[in-house]
Amino acid sequence: GLFITLALLMALSTIFDCLYSYKRKQPNKLLVSFSIPKNLQQLLKIQHGHIPCLHGIRCLSLFWIIFLHCYLYRILSPNINAVDIKSWEQTPFSMIEQSGSIAVDSFFFLSGLLLIMVSFREMQKNDGKLNIPLMYIHRYLRLTPILAVAVLFYMSLFNYMGNGPIWKNLTVANKICDNTWWATLLYVQNYAAPGKLTLSFWSNFGVTLLVSVCLHLAVEAPVADIESYLLPRNKPKTAKRSTLPATTTISQQNLCE
């Protein structure tokens, strides 16, 4: 019912957006909030003031992760000789896939860096004050809706998206989701249900674990923010502003490891 409602909202909103564009009238923001062209325009919009290299890191890491998953699912198929996998692991090319799991660390780095930069900006505007509860609420509300939709989709419709002799290997974790969905939405499944992670597919390493780690680091971030901001004032401000975000991000990265 939820997915049908969202699909209808997207269709109606897109129709309203096209009609208003055809008549060259200013549309109501609420009516076009689910419009596909409107949202695509916002997603693909290039904004000034960003750090260009971060987009490159994000893009390359994303391609690496997608390539890893596509290759991994193919190499674990029944038509692949397991003996050949052993010799394949010794080839230089295989290191691209074998080390692909650490590509996710790039997103931890980006998340920590951007969080520190935004926090410093707010503290400079508000004379060193940081609204920590609002910061936590904002991060939770930003991550949870799409995560809840993904969990709901995996628990309900994913079973009917395919069939075949190996399809059960992809849906084996559905029963785990039935018991651990609440821990997933509270971002404590790596503590409340270790080894039973939602969206785990072929392994116990759940996709949602990465989102939980990201939120955990965000919870710890204000301590590093305040400590970094209140360092002795005898250091040059330019050096402090340029090195502390990177230093704090590296320390957050070490916590993930």
Contact 235, 247 (CB under 8 A): no
| Residue 171 exposure: Cα atoms within 13 Å on the Cβ side | 16
Q: At what angle do helices 105-125 and 237-256 cross, to 10 degrees?
A: 140
Interatomic CA distance for residues 171 and 74, integer angstroms: 17
CB atoms within 10 A of CB 103: 18
- Residue burial 39-67, b: 16+ Cβ < 10 Å; e: rest: beeeeeeeeeeeeeeeeeeeeebeebbee
Q: What is the pLDDT of residue 240?
A: 44
Task: Give the model's pLDDT for residue 8.
Answer: 92
For residue 251, what are its two tokens?
């320390």
Instruction: Tell me how far apart the alpha carbons of residues 167 and 169 are, in angstroms, rounded to a whole number.
Output: 5
Task: Give the number of residues written for the chain.
Answer: 257
pLDDT 10s digit of each residue in the chain, 257 long?
778 888 898 899 999 888 888 777 877 788 888 888 888 888 887 777 677 888 888 888 888 888 887 777 777 777 778 788 888 888 888 888 778 778 888 888 888 888 888 888 888 888 878 788 888 898 899 889 888 888 888 888 877 887 877 777 777 667 777 777 888 888 887 777 666 655 554 443 456 777 888 888 888 877 766 666 655 544 544 444 444 445 445 444 444 44
Cα angle 43-246-241, degrees, rounded to a multiple of 5: 95
The C-alpha angle 183, 187, 190, rounded to 5 degrees, equals 75
Q: Locate all alpha helices (DSSP H) within the chain, ordered by sequence.
A: 2-23, 36-43, 52-75, 82-88, 94-98, 105-125, 132-156, 167-171, 174-185, 189-192, 207-229, 237-256
* pTM exceeds cut of 0.85: no
